[in-house]
Amino acid sequence: MRKILVTGALGQIGSELTTELRRIYGANNVVASGRRLKEGHEKLIESGPFEIVDITNGKELHEMVKKHNINTIINLAAILSAVGEKYPEECWNINMNGLYNVLEVAREENCMVFTPSSIAAFGPTTPPDNTPQDTIQRPTTMYGVTKVAGELLCDYYFKKFGVDTRGVRFPGLISYETLPGGGTTDYAVHIYYDALKNKRYTSFIAKGTMMDMMYMPDALDAIIQLMEADPSKLIHRNAFNVTAMSFDPEMIAGSIRKFIPEFELEYDVDPVRQAIADSWPNSLDDSAAREEWGWDPKYDLNGMTKDMLEKLKIKLGL
């Protein structure tokens, strides 16, 4: 029986993953946690156990894991790329010291650990097209540095201590439930809100910038499938390339125009986030994930656009 702790449960991924995990494993077997309560998440907080936990406090984390007999930690608490460039010290502290605490508790209490990595674990010297699973990883952002170091640390805990660590390199994630917390791929979420509200969007990412992306239902499937995968089949662990699509701002605008023909796209490029995007791959090769645990995403760009616009329309009361 799984007893799961989700850190960062009120974030973009956590707010949807927690609900899905509670549906599969039972509400009382999934403890949601966050550094603080956030408005707008009352339904989630009341749908099962919720604890205030700061993962940079190892003692607090350990007590929580013992209190709830946790055997699986899904560590989603993290600072994203753009915010990480603004506050590199905090990014290191939460993403690295936090992860270290999670791994230490997992070692002592015999827990499995899932930690997401990112396309940010690659850098300007990585082959940008069809980026292989095993390749050069020399990122130039603090977020990317913490993601590569995190991958290595998770593999180390598996090899050295036998902690069952697993992870994926997520691309930009698109969802309607909770906004992302300050990443470079966020434009691909904001564009849908503005398309519905104003029929126009000003992109901070330049025309022609290709990045991998994924719709949230596929991201949730990736986490759950990898968590449940037969360990004897896993050649890799931290972390698997996964992707569902790759597009630039013009391509997502084209997809939106299939549903909102008058939609207009303008540009006001942010040099910081553009430089980050330019340092990341254009498209990932996710064949290792497909071969080792059956990764097979369901949504392409138009399928995602259709669902996003339908769901957001209801959410925004339009």
Residue 118 touching ligand SER (CB under 6 A): yes
User: In this chain, which of 32, 55, 61, 80 binds ligand SER, going by CB under 6 A?
Assistant: 80
Of the candidates 238, 263, 242, which has an alpha carbon nearest to the alpha carbon of residue 252? 263
| Residue closer to ligand SER (CB basis): 64 or 219 | 219
* Pairing mode, strands 168-170 and 245-247: unpaired
The interface region with ligand SER, picked from 49-57, 95-103, 183-191, 288-296 by CB under 6 A, is 183-191
Size of the site for ligand SER (CB under 6 A): 11
The residue assigned the tokens 């036998």 is 162
Q: 314 and 261 in contact (C-beta within 8 Å)?
A: no
Of the candidates 285, 283, 167, the one whose C-alpha atom is nearest the C-alpha of residue 236 is: 167
Beta pairing, strands 4-7 & 72-75 = parallel
Residue 95: count of CB within 10 angstroms of its CB? 25
Q: With CA atoms as reference, report the closest residue to 5 among 15, 18, 16.
A: 18
Residue with smallest beta-carbon separation from ligand SER = 183
Decide if residue 183 touches ligand SER (CB under 6 A): yes
- Residue 203 touching ligand SER (CB under 6 A): no
Among 120, 163, 253, 304, binds ligand SER (CB under 6 A): 120
**Going along 192-243, which residue ranges are E strands?**
200-203, 211-215, 240-241
Closest contact distance (angstroms) between CB of 316 and ligand SER is: 22
Q: Is 185 in the site for ligand SER (CB under 6 A)?
A: yes
Q: What are phi and psi of 57, to 5 degrees?
A: -105, 95
Query: In residues, how long is the chain?
Result: 318
Q: How far is the CB of 280 from ligand SER (least distance, A)?
A: 8
Pick between residue 44 and residue 189 the one whose CB is nearest to ligand SER. 189
Q: How many CB atoms lie within 10 A of CB 179?
A: 14
Binding piece for ligand SER, criterion CB under 6 A, among 30-38, 90-98, 156-164, 177-185 = 177-185
Tell me whether residue 162 is exposed, middle or buried, using C-beta atoms within 10 angstroms of its C-beta: 0 to 12, 13 to 18, 19 or more: exposed
Question: Would you say 80 and 182 are in contact if contact means Cβ atoms under 8 Å apart?
Answer: yes
Region from 116-124, 196-204, 216-224, 283-291 binding ligand SER, contact rule CB under 6 A: 116-124
Active-site annotation holder among 143, 157, 187, 201? 143
Question: Is position 174 an interface residue for ligand SER (rule: CB under 6 A)?
Answer: no
- Is 79 a binding residue for ligand SER by CB under 6 A? The answer is no
Euclidean distance between CA atoms 110 and 162, whole angstroms:
9
Asked if 299 is an active-site residue, the reply is no
| Contact stretch for ligand SER (CB under 6 A) within 30-38, 156-164, 179-187, 238-246 | 179-187
Cβ proximity to ligand SER: between 170 and 295 the closer is 170
Q: Looking at beta carbons only, is 76 or 119 nearer to ligand SER?
A: 119
**308 C-beta neighbours (distance < 10 Å), count:** 26
Residues in contact with ligand SER by the rule CB under 6 A: 80-81, 118-120, 143, 170, 172, 183-185
Active-site amino acid positions: 143
